[in-house]
Structure 1
Amino acid sequence: MTLYLASERLALRPFAAADADLLIELDSDPAVMRYLSGGAPTPPEEIRDLVIPGILAGYERWDHALGLFAAHEKDGGAFIGWFCLRPLRDGPREEAELGYRLRRAAWGRGYATEVSRALLAKGFAQLGIRKVWAETMTVNRSSRNVMEKLGMTLVESIPAPDDMRAVEGSEHGGVRYEITKEQWERRQV
């Protein structure tokens, strides 16, 4: 396993083409997909034909420094989900999105905060990132709590995309949080 990043309890590694079943299982849990698709699973063929190739292309685009990474428990190796630190496809490289999607069994254990802190440190201290942003549904309090624990600031409310109109709470739209390298550095003192 090629290690991308390690936190206290988790190890992140690049995805491989053979990992489609991990994502299919993750995206088939209605609770995991609640604020993304209203609970509908991502079709397996979409994961195999579009999602995995897109993840792999991202590694090439960003010289394997940024992207979406599989997260496994150090103790036992269980797949718990994924984390990403990556720019928009055509966006500036120094502005990256922070994201995560975890299996229900991993919820409430502090993994999202733990790994996100490690990703911010890597991005700001090693990869030349100047700003990190994250978005979620306004009603997704758990995800918003993680962003706030990281020192990210709520910068704007955003409309829910048209394809999310059936998602619970979509009438409240979404929110965008950000943190700059300078804000992050002040929190390290």
Structure 2
Amino acid sequence: MQVFLETPRLLLRNFTEKDADNLYELDSDLDVIRFTNLGIIKGEKPINIDYETIKNITLPKWLTYYEKYEFYGIWAAIEKLSNEFIGWFHFRPASDNLFYFNLGFYDNSEIELGYRLKKPKWNQGYATEGSKALIDKGFSESDALKVVSMALANHTASIRVMEKVGLKFVAKYFHPEIQMDVVKYALDRSEYMVASKKNIANY
């Protein structure tokens, strides 16, 4: 197991070809995908998750991140206590998210933060814990200039996580494909450094 990042309760490790079953199970939960690109395009009705697409297209694409980048990618989230796969986090070039990039919501200078977790692990602070660790590592070790994230305007849980890890509201957009409002949050490197110095000073 190649671990990219460790937090008090999580290990973020590289995906492998053996994770197809994990991803299939995660995306088969309607409550998990209802606020994602996949879910909001299809609506709130059950959809057919294609196992072969996950195995032969999604996973191989994700595995290429580890060859291309040192600090950017998508990682499996493992709960230390149970050693269970509970979802994933990504910290990647925002241009890879064509759902938003092609509409001009993202640009080439930004790094996108995101995650997807199993429903039984919601409301336990895992999303905040993993996201904060990725931001800290990204700004301290990589050349990231701005971290961004998007959510449906009515998805209060995701917005709350973004705010907890220091991202600030940037804009609201109307997405023509899904006919819904989405919001963008961001954190610049300079803002992060100022906040970090304040935290050290107050310690």
TM-score by length of 1: 0.89
The question of whether the paired residues in 2 share the 8 Å contact of 1:151 and 1:179 is answered with: yes
1:99 offset after TM fit, Å? Answer: 0.2
- Say whether 1:104 aligns with 2:119: yes
1:122 aligns with 2:140: no
Contact 1:139 1:172 in 2 (8 A): no
**Equivalent position amino acid for 2:192 in 1:** W
Once residues 89 and 59 of structure 1 are traced to their aligned partners in structure 2, the CA distance between those partners, rounded to angstroms, is: 15
Deviation at 1:148, TM superposition (A): 0.8
- In structure 2, stretches of 5+ residues that fail to align are 98-106, 199-203
**2:63 partner SS:** helix
Q: Tell me, what secondary structure is at the counterpart of 2:30? A: coil
8 A contact 1:27–1:41 mirrored in 2: no
Residues 5-51 of structure 1: CA deviation (Å, up to 9, x unaligned):
01110000010111111000000000001112135353212211211
Structure 1 contact 29–41 (Cα < 8 Å) conserved: no
Which residue of 1 is the match for residue 63 of structure 2? 56
1:44 partnered with 2:51: yes
Calculate percent identity across the aligned residue pairs: 38
User: CA–CA distance in 2 between the matches of 1:109 and 1:148?
Assistant: 16
Q: 2:142 is matched by which residue type in structure 1?
A: L
Structure 1: distance between partners of 2:16 and 2:176 = 29
Q: CA deviation at 1:161?
A: 5.4
Structure with larger RCO (C-alpha < 8 A, sep 6+): 1
The code of the aligned residue for 2:155 comes to N
Aligned to 2:88: 82
Between the aligned partners of 1:41 and 1:142, the Cα distance in structure 2 is 26
The number of residue pairs the alignment matches comes to 180
Matched, 1:22 2:22: yes
Residue type of the alignment partner of 1:81: G
SS of the residue aligned with 1:139?
coil
CA distance 1:184–1:32, shift in 2 (3 Å): same
Q: Which runs of 5+ in 1 are unaligned?
A: 166-170
